[in-house]
């Protein structure tokens, strides 16, 4: 990861399109701030106006940034367009596209975007695409799909893929994605944030990434992952959350993780010595179920802002509502009166985005938001500088 980060400025010098992948379930958490500085410098060097991100002063070569929010089938469909509009409002220098590699139409749309960019610069011999993102967001799978879409005939699988993070550990050789016009791409190792942050915010960020397998789950207690997953599924649909499919008929929603895991263990026959329910095994099963099929169920069953239960709660009663695992807001029935529901959801999402950006800026400015490893490195550097100063002073006094 560190090697690729150091290589990034040189790679961008020969890149025409940056294709950044994020996870639709964590559209804000999967933003990698480590890469932002290099990408902004790349845009300025290619002639984009620093004061107006939508205006380009010099337009001799392609320079586009496309953000692909992968796994769109794992988030409620009603929030896709409002979130795309909200992000486009906040980041006008980026193009946003939701996709799922299981939907050929999404691959075709993305391939068409790249081809159209290449056709805008007919004198360029080729279009070079750099694919970046956090671990396990589907970069290699995307490139295999684009290659199959852009090159006619049977094409072998060019890049290995895995459900676990960290399979791609080095920059790939150039992969041909399209023949006319010529489009090439590089696959890159997933780049994780060097530090997730301190306190509850940092802990929550880590649990989210572990749930989507962006971090090896062995670094976290599986019961903690299951507890957070239960909490989020309750927000998406508190009336009939997706996990009820795992419990006995007639079971009610719960916020008690111990009671839930015990019930699940007995339902699945997960017992240990003494006929006691195997809580840990049930937690592992719950997380795996969500990754394999529960995500689809929860996305399909997540309630909209027009849900009757919200309208019956009273005009001033605040209901917790959300989309994915990053966006959560309070909404009242009186806010729905005479409003376009899509625009209302967009406003709520924009507020969540603004809050997230403000939190990141606050954390970056905080002196305490430094990992123990970084503190040790800083202390070692200061000690080295002090020794150097004393040596130079001693030499000068001779």
Residue 307, classified by CB atoms within 10 Å of its CB into exposed (0-12), middle (13-18) or buried (19+), is: middle
The answer to whether residue 196 scores a pLDDT higher than 60 is yes
Q: pLDDT at position 310, please?
A: 58
Residue 248 DSSP class: P
Secondary structure class of 187 (helix, strand, coil): strand
| Residue 324 confidence (pLDDT) above 50 | yes
Nearest 5°: the CA angle 279, 282, 283 is 90
> How far, in Å, CA of 91 to CA of 62, rounded?
19
Per-residue pLDDT at 279 = 94
| Among 327, 5, 376, 50, CA closest to 194 | 5
Percent of the chain with pLDDT over 90: 40
Q: Which helix (H) or strand (E) holds 210?
A: helix 199-211
In the chain, % helix, strand, coil (3-state, to 5) comes to 50, 15, 35
Please give the average per-residue pLDDT across 241-259, as a whole number: 92
- According to the model, what pLDDT value does residue 170 have? 46
Average pLDDT, rounded, for the chain:
83
pLDDT number for residue 391: 73
Coil, helix or strand at residue 132: strand
For range 334-352, the mean pLDDT: 86
What phi, psi does 296 have (nearest 5°)?
-65, -40
As a whole-number percent, the residues of the chain with pLDDT over 70 amount to: 85
Structure confidence at residue 167 (pLDDT): 44
Average pLDDT over residues 287-313: 82
| Mean pLDDT across 193-198 | 64
pLDDT confidence tier of residue 193, bands split at 50, 70 and 90? low
- Stretch 254-268: mean pLDDT: 93
Q: Give every CB contact of residue 146 below 8 A, 6+ residues apart in sequence.
A: 107, 110, 111, 114, 177, 185
pLDDT tier at 168 (50, 70, 90 boundaries)?
A: very low
Geometric angle at alpha carbon 214, from 208 and 220, rounded to 5°? 60
Contacts of 293 (CB under 8 A, 6+ apart): none
Tokens of 174: 């150039």
* Residue 164 burial (C-beta neighbours within 10 Å; 0-12, 13-18, 19+): exposed
Contact 141, 161 (CB under 8 A): yes
The pLDDT tens digits of the residues spanning 83-130 come to 999 999 999 999 999 998 888 899 999 999 999 999 999 888 899 999
Q: What pLDDT is recorded for position 313? A: 57
What was the pLDDT predicted at 162? 43
pTM above 0.75, yes or no: yes
Give per-residue pLDDT as tens, 202-213. Answer: 888 888 888 888
**Domains of the chain listed by start with CATH number:** 2-187 (3.40.50.300), 199-363 (1.10.1580.10)
Give the pLDDT mean for 229-238: 91
Assign 140 a pLDDT band (cuts: 50, 70, 90).
confident
Question: Looking at the predicted structure, is the pLDDT value of residue 382 above 50?
Answer: yes
Q: pLDDT value at position 316? A: 64
**CA contacts within 13 A on the Cβ side of 53:** 14
Q: Which is higher by pLDDT, 382 or 169?
A: 382
């Amino acid at each position: 990861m560190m090697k690729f980060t150091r290589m990034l400025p040189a790679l961008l010098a020969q890149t025409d399109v940056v294709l950044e992948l994020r996870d639709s379930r964590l559209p804000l958490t999967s933003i990698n701030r480590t890469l932002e500085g290099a990408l902004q410098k790349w845009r300025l060097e290619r002639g984009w106006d620093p004061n107006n991100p939508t205006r380009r002063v010099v337009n001799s070569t392609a320079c586009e940034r496309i953000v692909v929010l992968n796994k769109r089938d794992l988030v409620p469909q009603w929030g896709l367009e409002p979130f795309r509009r909200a992000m486009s409002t906040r980041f006008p220098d980026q193009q946003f596209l939701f996709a799922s590699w299981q939907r050929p139409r999404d691959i075709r749309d993305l391939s068409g975007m790249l081809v159209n960019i290449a056709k805008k610069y007919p004198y360029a011999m080729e279009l070079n695409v750099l694919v970046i993102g956090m671990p396990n967001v589907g970069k290699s799978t995307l490139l295999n799909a684009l290659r199959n879409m852009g090159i006619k005939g049977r094409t072998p699988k060019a890049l290995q893929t895995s459900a676990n993070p960290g399979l791609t550990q080095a920059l790939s050789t150039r992969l041909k994605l399209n023949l006319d016009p010529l489009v090439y791409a590089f696959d890159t190792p997933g780049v994780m944030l060097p530090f997730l942050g301190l306190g509850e915010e940092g802990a929550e960020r880590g649990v989210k990434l572990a749930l989507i397998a962006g971090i090896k789950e062995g670094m976290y207690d599986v019961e903690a992952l299951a507890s957070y997953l239960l909490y989020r599924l309750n927000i998406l649909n508190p009336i009939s959350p997706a996990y009820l499919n795992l419990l006995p008929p007639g079971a009610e929603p719960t916020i008690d993780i111990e009671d839930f895991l015990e019930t699940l263990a007995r339902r699945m026959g997960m017992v240990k010595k003494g006929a006691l329910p195997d809580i840990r095994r049930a937690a592992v099963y719950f997380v795996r179920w969500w990754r394999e099929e529960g995500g689809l169920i929860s996305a399909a069953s997540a309630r909209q802002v027009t849900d009757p239960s919200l309208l019956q709660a009273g005009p001033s009663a605040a209901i917790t509502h959300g989309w994915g695992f990053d966006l959560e807001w309070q909404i009242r029935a009186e806010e729905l009166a005479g409003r376009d529901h899509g625009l209302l959801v967009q406003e709520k999402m924009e507020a969540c985005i603004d809050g997230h950006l403000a939190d990141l800026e606050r954390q970056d400015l905080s002196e305490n938001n430094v990992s123990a490893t970084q503190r040790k490195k800083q202390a070692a550097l200061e000690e080295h500088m002090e020794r150097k100063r004393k040596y130079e002073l001693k030499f000068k006094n001779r």
